[in-house]
Structure 1
Amino acid sequence: MKKHPLEEKWNTTAWDILSAIERGFRAQVDVKGKLAEWFLFQKLEQMQREGALQSVIWQDKDGQPDFVVPYAGREIKIECKNVRSPSQTKRPQGSARVELQKTRNNKKGEPTRGYKPEEFDVLAACLFNFTGKWEYLFVATRRLTRRPKPLERFLTIMQPVPLQPEGFWSYDLFNAFKDAIK
């Protein structure tokens, strides 16, 4: 059986890698975040193969959105986040939230790790932590709430996410694209 390149690079087995991840809460959160991006990337690539998208760029750089996709003469920036696990939220049954906070502080000395609305156009909220499925609801960033003054230039850290399409939230990525460019 052929080894995965990471097994070769780290001189270990997939079993050992997964066993190490299993023992680390933060590692599991990180891997689930990357899996959410991976499955969204596969969805975007499929849309590209079908001709619905011209191209897809998956970025893995601090301070950059996860994906960039040309649409209607613009580059649409997509940020992908997992909804918080039900055990991590003190909200009513059937209610989810996504945390919009960067891993690292802003290099310009901003007082927060928050996102500004202009940093991405569309949020892809992965519902796996609630549904057990790698499915997404999409919303234009302009529909997300902002923090109260004096930090209104930042998005609220905890954003509510419905568990099915509702209001401006949709399973259809193009609905969010169209709303983002209005």
Structure 2
Amino acid sequence: MPHALEIKYGLTAQELLDAIDRRFRLKVALEGSVAEVHFERKLRIASREGWLTSYEGHDVDGMHDFTVVTVSGVTIRVEVKTIRNGAKPQVELQKTRAAKGDPSSRYYERDHFDVAAVCVGRFTGDWSQFRYVLVRELPSHRSHPNKLQVMHLIPDGEDTQPRWFSRFQDLIDAFTA
């Protein structure tokens, strides 16, 4: 039975996948979606295991990607990102576009989300692998102190400043401490 997208666009699944594979920007958008699906899988497991009360995904412009509620009732806003291509893993924390007349609107406000969940699959080959950081520990933009710095290296270890976590549960513990 054909997928709804095959019917809608009059293409086979193979033709749709080939179209994605040939287009850089489309592949980048797909990778962002892949990261969100893998992160939501982690949230589903965490909810089943009982260390999250609930979570909700948001596909709304200008809003963070997920809202997570811990068993202690703390709400955490999460933005999911993928790492940049390059020799060292790093993440770019800025929006895709700026508002007309305000180039600084491309930079995230410090209070836009609480946690960045960064998929490192482009670097490791494992698209279910993430590193997590608390926004409150990230440096501010040099010219706009109420906004986040754009580029952030992701270190190997967890004994760093800012702290980068390999397990979401460890990040939740640090967030609520």
Is TM-score (shorter-chain normalized) higher than 0.5?
yes
Counterpart-to-counterpart distance in 2, 1:130 and 1:100 = 17
Q: How does 1:73-92 map to 2 (within 5 A)?
A: 73-86=73-86
Counterpart-to-counterpart distance in 1, 2:25 and 2:156 = 24
SS at 2:133's partner residue?
A: strand
Displacement, 1:73? 2.1
Unaligned runs of 5+ in 2: none
Greater mean alpha carbon deviation, residues 37-46 or residues 160-169: 160-169
Displacement, 1:174? 2.4
Instruction: Report whether the alignment pairs 1:123 with 2:113.
Output: no
Q: How does 1:42-61 map to 2 (within 5 A)?
A: 42-61=41-60
Q: 4+ residue runs of structure 1 moved beyond 6 angstroms?
A: none
Q: Kindly, what percent of the aligned residue pairs are identical?
A: 35
What amino acid is the match of 1:175?
Answer: D
Contact preservation (8 Å) 1:79, 1:124: yes
Q: How many residues align?
A: 173
Contact preservation (8 Å) 1:138, 1:170: yes
- Deviation per residue, 1:120-143 (Å, 9 max, x gap): 111111111110012001111111
Instruction: Report whether the alignment pairs 1:102 with 2:95.
Output: yes
TM-score by structure 1 length?
0.86
What amino acid is the match of 2:84?
Answer: R
SS at 1:124's partner residue?
A: strand
Contact preservation (8 Å) 1:142, 1:180: no
Displacement, 1:110? 6.1
Provide the residue aligned with 1:177 in structure 2.
172
